[in-house]
């Protein structure tokens, strides 16, 4: 593995990349308030979500992106991994900077992605970024039942949007649904709920319904199968 030390040239490139990203987003603003726009017909408004729900939402997007990166699907990973740093998603991460959101780690991940470096070469960066979000979630100390229920509702909604007549027609939503399932499992595993082990097993069963993880497949699980497993998990909450 190539060393992770950074020379001045690399640091300069990262800084330019980060500033350029913010500049490009700002220049593309057509006057529409994109911060509060939620794609499709989701049952929440970002302004109405407290920090305990916004952090698991962000973790879900990042989980999808990280797994895609590790699977070698760099182009598909990129948009999911912008949530912690993009100007477009600033409402989602509001207040997290004060809790220690490590923007630099996510910029490093995005820079490595842009440079097409294999995930295996930058795994310490990936783990550090993931652990950073988990650390923020632990500081917020949200209600795990509410968080898991929220994630289940979002993943079911997004999975329904992602498929049309049994075919994946919205790849991003299909992938987000997977990321929310991963995050729900993480929340359950880290909780003190009396039935945490049962929840984790049921969430593993749910995750198995993505045959290739977030990577698109020609034979995705049916919406009814996803909904049935989601209902089973909700009965445990």
Q: Does residue 209 lie in a domain region?
A: yes
pLDDT of residue 190: 95
pLDDT of residue 104: 92
Residue 104 belongs to what H/E stretch?
Answer: helix 103-114
Q: Does residue 203 lie in a domain region?
A: yes
Q: Does residue 32 lie in a domain region?
A: no
Q: Are residues 131 and 149 in the same domain?
A: no
Host domain of residue 126: 7-24+48-141
Q: Are residues 108 and 158 in the same domain?
A: no
Q: Are residues 136 and 59 in the same domain?
A: yes
Q: Are residues 93 and 190 in the same domain?
A: no
Q: Are residues 84 and 190 in the same domain?
A: no
pTM of the full structure:
0.82
d(CA 56, CA 51) in angstroms, rounded, equals: 9
Identify the three-state secondary structure at position 163.
strand
229 burial (CB, 10 Å; 0-12 / 13-18 / 19+) is buried
Identify the three-state secondary structure at position 211.
strand
Q: Does residue 194 lie in a domain region?
A: yes
Count up the domains in the chain and report the number: 2
Residue from 155, 173, 154 nearest 163 by CA: 173
Average of pLDDT values for 27-50? 49
Q: Are residues 70 and 172 in the same domain?
A: no
Q: Does residue 201 lie in a domain region?
A: yes
d(CA 40, CA 25) in angstroms, rounded, equals: 21
Q: Are residues 69 and 98 in the same domain?
A: yes
Q: Does residue 120 lie in a domain region?
A: yes
pLDDT of residue 93: 84
Q: Does residue 77 lie in a domain region?
A: yes
**38-47 pLDDT per residue, tens:** 333 345 667 7
Q: Does residue 37 lie in a domain region?
A: no
């Amino acid at each position: 593995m190539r060393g992770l030390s950074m020379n001045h040239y690399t640091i300069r490139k990262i800084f330019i990349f980060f500033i350029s990203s913010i500049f490009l987003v700002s220049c593309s603003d057509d006057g529409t308030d994109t911060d509060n726009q939620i794609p499709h017909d989701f049952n929440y408004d970002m302004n109405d979500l407290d920090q305990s729900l916004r952090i698991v939402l962000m973790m879900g997007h990042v989980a999808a992106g990280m797994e895609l990166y590790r699977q070698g699907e760099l182009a598909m990973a990129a948009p999911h991994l912008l949530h912690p740093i993009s100007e477009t998603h600033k409402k989602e991460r509001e207040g997290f900077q004060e809790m220690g959101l490590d923007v630099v780690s996510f910029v490093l991940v995005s820079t490595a992605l842009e440079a097409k470096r294999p995930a295996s070469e930058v795994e310490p960066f990936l783990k550090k970024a993931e652990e950073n979000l988990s650390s923020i979630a632990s500081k917020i100390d949200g209600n795990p039942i509410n968080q898991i229920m929220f994630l289940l509702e979002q993943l079911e909604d997004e999975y329904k949007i992602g498929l049309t007549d049994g075919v994946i027609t919205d790849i991003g939503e299909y992938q987000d649904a997977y990321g929310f399932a991963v995050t729900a499992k993480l929340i359950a595993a880290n909780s003190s709920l009396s039935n945490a082990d049962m929840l984790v097993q049921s969430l593993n069963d749910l995750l198995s319904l993505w045959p290739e993880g977030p990577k698109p497949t020609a034979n995705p699980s049916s919406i009814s199968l996803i909904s049935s497993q989601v209902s089973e998990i909700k009965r445990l909450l």
